[in-house]
Structure 1
Amino acid sequence: MQPNNTASIFSDRIQLPFQFSAAKMLEETKALQLENFEYYNVIPLRSPAHLVDTSLPFPPPADDYADGSWTDWLDTKALKQSSYLTSIVDFFKEHTTVTLVRLLRLAPHSTVKEHIDATLGLEVEKSVVRLTIPILNNKDVTFYLNNTPVQMQAGECWYLRLTDPHKVINDGAQERINMTIDMIPNDWLRHVIKESDKNVAE
């Protein structure tokens, strides 16, 4: 499967060799859900520094926001009160620069329309890599990438080439929750993705 405008380096979906406790993640996620929501809800766990600490100045204008270097990034209050989620973020911080981290909640019987994310693929210069960890799924949730379902299970960690067309359909009666972790790709991350891709091919 080929991305829209770039040459393919890796597969469009690659399961990485990391496994996390979906039960612990869900417990802490539920503790952060203080309100009802319709359609889509985002809980920031790591954000631009000036949004977390309002005493900090806004960063200067940037010509290119794609690689996350345009600002500093801080853990939010929600992440700091969630010890297991913090341990997951800290694991990746040990290896590369982690930028935006969020919990993404999709309401029952809702759809995220097909779209692309222009900077979320290793093939793109100054890209950001987004890893996805499903927390709460049901059998009626389908994540489509290049019109093909991605079979992700709770607690798994996936690299998805989001520069390609993708959409989410939740036909179930339960919300869907994913954790997404954006990071600036480096040699460590490229190696993990490459080796995981190779293992799938074999």
Structure 2
Amino acid sequence: MKTAFLKLPFHFSEEKLLNDLGICKNYNFTSHFNKNDYSGEWTSIALRSQNGEMDNIFALPQGEKKYKDTELLEKCVYFREIVDSFECEKESIRLLNLKPGSVIKEHTDYNLGYEDGIFRIHIPITTNENVHFFINSEEVKMLPSECWYGNFNLPHSVRNAGQTDRIHLVMDCLRNDWSDNLFAECGYNFEAENKPPEFSRETKLQMIEHLKLMDTETSREMISRLEKDL
């Protein structure tokens, strides 16, 4: 079975994370672009984006133009320290805020598992005991200052039933020898990763609609491949 998630052996300073979050809160967060995937308020701000702007919160697979740090990342000393501690290339880096009472509906992403050469890291900054995060039908309790990998090719959802914001630092990183060694130490199942995922027709249609919102060359190529499989 493919590895759905891993807790990575890093533990960051909750105080320093909150300090940099305070800097970011002086700027406007942008509502997530895919409004079909959530109810309530789900907002984001970019620390690294394709054009270097804070309001460009698209997170796309590799193959597009090179990502750039935003001016906000330059102001956040501890976030930069965390980013630099990952010895691999990075693409999109964002803060994602799920407000109280909000839900990210179950969905699947495309080409966003370690087997695709890219991996998404979640570092919780603020959360509460009533946040429920499911990956492949299994609840994952992510606590502040921890570090997690999730295979988001698999069905996943989040519900914030608490009274406080759930804010994560989210990094999309490119796989290399350093990350292979890290994942091996954490028990990643390399044998299972090359087995192609089996998506239902309904899931493929959902993924196509999600990709249409991005309207990029890469997303159009992915749509074409998915449509051939329908």
Contact in 2 for aligned 1:159/1:193 (Cα 8 Å): no
User: TM-score scaled to structure 2, two decimals?
Assistant: 0.70
1:86 aligned to 2:80? yes
Q: Tell me which residue corresponds to 2:102.
A: 110
RMSD of aligned residue pairs (Cα, Å):
1.9
Q: Which amino acid aligns with 1:129?
A: F
Are residue 172 (structure 1) and residue 172 (structure 2) matched? no
User: Which runs of at least 4 in structure 1 moved beyond 6 Å after TM superposition?
Assistant: none
Match of 2:71 among 77, 93, 97: 77
Q: Where does structure 1 lack aligned partners over 5 or more consecutive residues? A: 3-7, 54-64
What residue is the counterpart of 1:47 in the other structure?
A: 49
Return the letter of the residue paired with 1:134: P
More strand by share: 1
Q: Which residue in the other structure is 1:33 paired with?
A: 25
Structure 2 unpaired stretches of 5+: 32-39, 55-59, 189-230
Deviation at 1:18, TM superposition (A): 1.1
Counterpart amino acid of residue 87 in structure 1: E
- C-alpha distance in structure 1 between counterparts of 2:96 and 2:162, whole Å: 16
Deviation at 1:70, TM superposition (A): 2.2
Number of positions where the alignment pairs a residue of Structure 1 with one of Structure 2: 173
**Take 1:82 and 1:166, find their aligned partners in 2: how far apart are those partners?**
30
Higher helix content, 1 or 2 = 2
Q: Contact between 1:118 and 1:163, CA under 8 Å: does it hold in 2?
A: yes
With the length of structure 1 as denominator, give the TM-score of the two structures: 0.79
| 74-83 vs 32-41, greater mean Cα deviation | 32-41
- Report the Cα offset of residue 79 of structure 1: 0.7
**1-side partners of 2:10 and 2:63: how far apart?**
26
Corresponding residue for residue 183 of structure 1: 173
Structure 2: how far apart are the matches of 1:29 and 1:18? 19
Partner of 1:101: 93
The alignment status of 1:156 with 2:150, answered yes or no, reads no
